[in-house]
Structure 1
Amino acid sequence: MLSTLELTPGGRARAFQRLGGRFLLSWQVDLARDLGCSRIVCLAEAESEQLDEIREQVEDLGLEFHMVRGPLPLVGLLTADQELVVIADGLVADRELVRELLGQGRGVVALPDDAGIEAGFERIDASHAWGGIIVTRANIAQQLADMPPDSDAISLLLRLALQAGTRLIPLDEEALESGDWLLVRERAALAQREETLLDRSVEQVSWTAPGLALSRRLARSLAPDGLERGGTIAMGLGALGLVGAIASAGYDYAFPAVASFLAGSFAIASSEALTRLKARMRGSGDGKSRARYLQSLLDIALLAVLALPATAYNALDRLFLPLMLIGLLRLVATLAPARWENAWRDRTSVALVLLIAAWFGSLEQIMAMLCVATLGFCLFFRRKSQITLA
């Protein structure tokens, strides 16, 4: 992958503008990895702290990183049998669309000339403008050795790829209109793309699961600034809440214990929402295995909160209702239709009901009622699922 680091009118390299809390160049590294690149080469005037951060990101992915200052050093890094991916400075492109266009082979992404030039892309012939990505044979780069050292390496590589007969891959101008394909020239357009990307990435949860729904909306309101460390901070607060809940329950303070669990469960749900939003936004998985682990952690903490204080003489009595309730909640979540699944997994909502019960001193009675309700729901859907046609 190659990316020039040109300066915007404000004096800052476009590659180091931020989108979703990350440098644009970080998003381009993801694009290059999607296209099978094992080595990342950046064309830049000088080393910088930002490039050091990119270097760490690249090496963490198990790829090689190189920074070169012109076309001649680039020649020495490439061999004729390699594939070369070139990405224009400031290009922001939807990863799925890139994979669809270039996942099957080499080519020069091309836009209709008027729309492409208006969007800031370079004209390549009478009817096309360059779309900002090239995939071609690296042997074309050998001709850069004959060019002046201050030449525009990216523009030269584009011309050389076209002269070598690299096919044009048409890109519909609708991608420009939707923001899925953007050459950053001003901050306003980048901010609009950021909002669109966040809106698409946020997980939609129905208000049938109020705690989860609220945590997802909170995550969206904290993004993008809260994506990097927000999940870790929220997880720390959630852990403190659960520890406080168990400690309070150990001293037989039912209401403070359930209140602390409520706060902790919502903090953990918010941490999960922030983590999933970041993962979905960056196309790095959905975090379902982590969600299952956190669900088990919450259930163990809730069991402790509802069963404590327990002694050797009353342990079974103290454990029966909480264990029955949590077991039925987990069972009904597997039997319920998809639209109700989150409602039964939402421990914040359960904690809110239990908090009200603790305030009125009727915790055991409400737990028993919840057991009956969940058991009825399980039986209803089990009976329905066994209906067969004669």
Structure 2
Amino acid sequence: MRVAVLSLIESAGDEPDVLRGYLPIGGRSILRHQIGLALSLGCKRIVVMAEAISGELVAMQHAAERGGAQFHVIATARMLAPLLLPDDDVFVLGDGLLVMPDAAREMLDAGPVVLTLPVETALPLGFERIDINYAFAAAMRFPGRVAAGLAELPPEWNVQSALLRLAAQARIAHRGVPASLLNDGRWNIVRTEAEAHRVERQWLNLHTTKSSAGSATPGERLTTLIVRRLGPAMLHAGTRPALAGVAAGAVGLLGGGLGWLGHFAIGFLLLGLGWMVERVASLLGQIERNSLLVSGSARRGVAIFHLLIDAGFVTLATWRCELPPGHGWPWGAAAFAPVLLIGMMRLVPLALANRPWSRWLEDRLLTGCVLAIVSIFLPFDAAVALAVLGLLGTCLFALQFEGSSPNPRLTSEA
């Protein structure tokens, strides 16, 4: 069985009443982040060294049990010894350690190891010295039989230091943590509230790097900026992704209502804004899943919400249509061009997935802004029709004359 040993002992800086493990990062404590990491490592038993049980520890117990792990809170090294069987695979994470889960898994998955850092770099950052050259990087893995010596130690011994000494006596291999993990914030010891605020910004930036990549659309870039700037305040205030998703739905409904009243430009803008708020909710949810394992799957209903936003655009564009009534137009004629427009905006990114610009057609904030401008300044029906023809022509040209295939993995040259 894989077992994680965590610690909730060290005080945060000069404040004895605040513990390192309770310092918040993204609205959740560091210890909660470590439990998420332990679950991602496949640990089925999680042991927390703590002097007292608190309401937050009870909540963490529920989170661990939902993840399929047993949860224990103990106070001394002697109490830990019976929980570590000889055949167990033990992971130890230091008090206040905050790491990106993928980096930790890469370093620990190779087998029994004591992770180290150069002493001149690590000591000022709060890591514990091992010898004259190396410091303990606050994470290690070893067989459970190594911990048998805990029962013979005095009760006042620090458990992490004791396990580190036992691992050294068992000659567990050392492995250096790359300096790049320290430099970009993927490996940290958080000791004070000031450090927690600094590290929290790095943590959010790391989790949103892909969303701000070079091919990101304007709406995605703005979403990332909002999460980076306002994400900490939102998360500390208890704004969970589901609540942000409800807000997105409310904004979308408001846009539809204003469009029904004839305020089409504002309606288009609000539909785009509702899409962006949902993107913020999805990004916050993705961060929580990646770092905390608060949910086993992505938030449900996102695809349906996007379909509803597109249906809102079609509806508002239909209401905005300038076809004169009573001239023999068939029923639904006003919706024909808007349906084709949204359909082409969904089709082109699928057919031309290898074209970075095609992703811009999925940006509904951009769609709302463009439709609002067209609604105010241009002949709306003519502009929509030209947009449909432009997208169709671009797609056909790219597929026919540029050698692109909508399904390149299933095609081959004869």
Same fold (TM over 0.5): yes
| Structure 1 position 105, deviation (Å) | 0.6
| Structure 1 position 136, deviation (Å) | 1.1
Residue 11 of structure 2: aligned partner:
7
1:55 has 2:61 as partner: yes
C-alpha distance in structure 2 between counterparts of 1:185 and 1:212, whole Å: 34
Residue 408 of structure 2: aligned partner:
none
1:120 has 2:126 as partner: yes
Q: Give the stretch that moved more between structures: 212-221 or 354-363.
A: 354-363
Residue 80 of structure 2: aligned partner:
74
The within-5 A match list for 1:219-238 is 219-227=227-235, 229=239, 231-238=241-248
Q: Give the stretch that moved more between structures: 172-181 or 215-224.
A: 172-181
Q: Give the stretch that moved more between structures: 31-40 or 169-178.
A: 169-178
Q: Give the stretch that moved more between structures: 295-304 or 325-334.
A: 295-304
- Is the 8 Å Cα contact of residues 245 and 305 (structure 1) preserved in structure 2? no
Aligned AA (1:341): S
The within-5 A match list for 1:267-278 is 267-278=277-288
| Structure 1 position 23, deviation (Å) | 0.9
- Is the 8 Å Cα contact of residues 215 and 356 (structure 2) preserved in structure 1? no
| Structure 1 position 177, deviation (Å) | 4.1
| Structure 1 position 344, deviation (Å) | 0.6
Given the superposition, is the C-alpha separation of residues 174 and 365 from structure 1 closer, same or farther in structure 2, using an over 3 Å criterion? Answer: closer
| Structure 1 position 17, deviation (Å) | 0.7
1:349 to 350, 366, 391: 366
Q: Give the stretch that moved more between structures: 328-337 or 7-16.
A: 328-337
The within-5 A match list for 1:120-139 is 120-139=126-145
- Is the 8 Å Cα contact of residues 91 and 132 (structure 1) preserved in structure 2? yes
| Structure 1 position 323, deviation (Å) | 1.2
2:212 to 204, 216, 223: 204
1:29 has 2:35 as partner: yes
C-alpha distance in structure 2 between counterparts of 1:186 and 1:123, whole Å: 20
C-alpha distance in structure 2 between counterparts of 1:324 and 1:364, whole Å: 12
1:375 has 2:392 as partner: yes
Given the superposition, is the C-alpha separation of residues 132 and 71 from structure 1 closer, same or farther in structure 2, using an over 3 Å criterion? Answer: same
- Is the 8 Å Cα contact of residues 42 and 67 (structure 1) preserved in structure 2? yes
Q: Which runs of 5+ in 2 are unaligned?
A: 406-412
Q: Which runs of 5+ in 1 are unaligned?
A: none
Given the superposition, is the C-alpha separation of residues 191 and 100 from structure 1 closer, same or farther in structure 2, using an over 3 Å criterion? Answer: same
Aligned AA (2:315): A
C-alpha distance in structure 1 between counterparts of 2:402 and 2:291, whole Å: 36
Residue 161 of structure 1: aligned partner:
167
| Structure 1 position 48, deviation (Å) | 0.9
The within-5 A match list for 1:1-390 is 1-5=4-8, 6-8=10-12, 9-11=14-16, 12-202=18-208, 203-204=211-212, 209-227=217-235, 229=239, 231-248=241-258, 254-255=264-265, 257-279=267-289, 292-307=303-318, 314-336=330-352, 337-359=354-376, 362-386=379-403
SS at match of 1:84: strand
Given the superposition, is the C-alpha separation of residues 278 and 160 from structure 1 closer, same or farther in structure 2, using an over 3 Å criterion? Answer: closer
| Structure 1 position 7, deviation (Å) | 1.2
SS at match of 2:232: coil
C-alpha distance in structure 2 between counterparts of 1:70 and 1:280, whole Å: 32
- Is the 8 Å Cα contact of residues 91 and 141 (structure 2) preserved in structure 1? yes
- Is the 8 Å Cα contact of residues 276 and 286 (structure 1) preserved in structure 2? no
SS at match of 1:46: coil
- Is the 8 Å Cα contact of residues 249 and 306 (structure 1) preserved in structure 2? no
- Is the 8 Å Cα contact of residues 78 and 155 (structure 2) preserved in structure 1? yes
Aligned AA (2:46): I
C-alpha distance in structure 2 between counterparts of 1:209 and 1:26, whole Å: 33
Q: Deviations over 1:251-281 (max 9, x none)?
A: 6664554354344333333333443455566
- Is the 8 Å Cα contact of residues 101 and 290 (structure 2) preserved in structure 1? no
- Is the 8 Å Cα contact of residues 17 and 23 (structure 1) preserved in structure 2? yes
SS at match of 2:154: coil
SS at match of 1:134: strand
Q: How high is the TM-score relative to the length of structure 1?
A: 0.86
Given the superposition, is the C-alpha separation of residues 330 and 249 from structure 1 closer, same or farther in structure 2, using an over 3 Å criterion? Answer: same
- Is the 8 Å Cα contact of residues 117 and 135 (structure 2) preserved in structure 1? yes
Given the superposition, is the C-alpha separation of residues 46 and 247 from structure 1 closer, same or farther in structure 2, using an over 3 Å criterion? Answer: same
SS at match of 1:135: strand
Q: Deviations over 1:334-362 (max 9, x none)?
A: 23444212211112222222223333584
- Name the count of aligned residue pairs: 389
Aligned AA (2:15): G
C-alpha distance in structure 2 between counterparts of 1:93 and 1:100, whole Å: 11
Aligned AA (1:226): M
C-alpha distance in structure 1 between counterparts of 2:289 and 2:401, whole Å: 37
Given the superposition, is the C-alpha separation of residues 110 and 146 from structure 1 closer, same or farther in structure 2, using an over 3 Å criterion? Answer: same
Q: How high is the TM-score relative to the length of structure 2?
A: 0.82
Q: Give the stretch that moved more between structures: 348-357 or 172-181.
A: 172-181
| Structure 1 position 64, deviation (Å) | 1.3
Aligned AA (1:232): A
Given the superposition, is the C-alpha separation of residues 260 and 128 from structure 1 closer, same or farther in structure 2, using an over 3 Å criterion? Answer: closer
SS at match of 2:140: strand
C-alpha distance in structure 2 between counterparts of 1:208 and 1:165, whole Å: 48
| Structure 1 position 77, deviation (Å) | 1.9
Q: Deviations over 1:141-160 (max 9, x none)?
A: 33222222332222112111
